[in-house]
Amino acid sequence: MSDQNSTTPRVFIARHGETEWTINGRCTGKSDIPLTANGVGQVRGTGQLLVGDRKLIDPSKIAHVFCSPRQRAQSTLDLLLGDSQKDKLVKEGKITTTEDIAEWDYGDYEGVTPHDIRALRKEKGLDTDKTWDIWTDGCEGGESAEQVRERLDRLIQSIYNIQKPHMNGGAAADVLIVAHGHILRAFTKRWLKYPMEFPFTMMMEPGAIGVMSYAHHNISEPAILIGMGFPQNS
């Protein structure tokens, strides 16, 4: 499926499959919630369609993988790549497990729905003149938006360092990130150089894949790839 003539490196962002807390909308940060059977099926379906030789995500073209430490992300990575491809990348030193792409630390709001968070904050006398917004208010006992921005910017700089030498061809330098819905939306904002509070509404289904790249083969112009063609394989 992949365009073999493409020379601009890409960053694939993969959200883990469904968990029980995904179903009921509870904020899931550090809690190690496993995938449901349906979540496993979601990721397997994505992998079968999009991951493999000459497909959208071609493991032979991956320069590095960054994965959240949480088991739902680790399981998703295993399902996407399969044992043989993952083992090969591990032996090549191309897989990094890092807290830089772990889910937002929700602190006191862990396991609570956004609706109930807003109610709890109102009871405490917070947000009397506005509605709670994680992008500006952060989480009590957890991370602020600034703390999340700092770790994402550090990760993005690492990706730049990997991909900058390959902006006009040469060795394949795609990057795969496997993580969580909220942190991947935050990553997208920072990839596009938007401030965390920028009102950029995004959705990402469990088991979904998003694609980032660069405009004009320029490391200084990170972009979101909102559409791409799928040339016929020969």
Residue 63: which CATH number?
3.40.50.1240
Is 5 inside a domain boundary?
A: no
Active site residue 16: yes
Residue 230 lies in a domain: no
- In this structure, is residue 4 part of a structural domain? no
pLDDT confidence of residue 234: 55
At residue 233, the pLDDT reads: 63
The contacts found for 41-44 with CB under 8 angstroms, 24 or more apart, are 41/17, 42/17, 42/18, 42/205, 42/206, 42/207, 43/16, 43/17, 43/75, 43/76, 43/79, 43/80, 43/207, 44/79
What is the pLDDT, as a whole number, of residue 169? Answer: 79
Confirm whether residue 103 is marked as ligand binding.
Answer: yes
Can you give the pLDDT at residue 228? 81
- Positions in the chain short of pLDDT 70: 1-6, 231-234
Query: What is the domain count for the chain?
Result: 1
Asked whether residue 205 is assigned to any structural domain, the reply reads yes
Domain that holds residue 43: 11-224
pLDDT above 70 covers what percent of the chain?
96
Is there a domain that residue 93 lies in? yes
In a domain, residue 208? The reply is yes
Q: Is 106 marked as binding a ligand?
A: yes
Predicted model pTM: 0.94
Catalytic residue among 18, 64, 103, 166: 103
pLDDT digits (tens, 9 = 90+) for 96-151: 999 999 999 999 999 999 999 999 999 999 998 999 999 999 999 999 999 999 99
pLDDT of residue 172: 84
Residue 106 lies in a domain: yes
- 160 part of a folded domain: yes
Say whether 103 is catalytic: yes
Q: Is 29 annotated as a binding residue?
A: yes
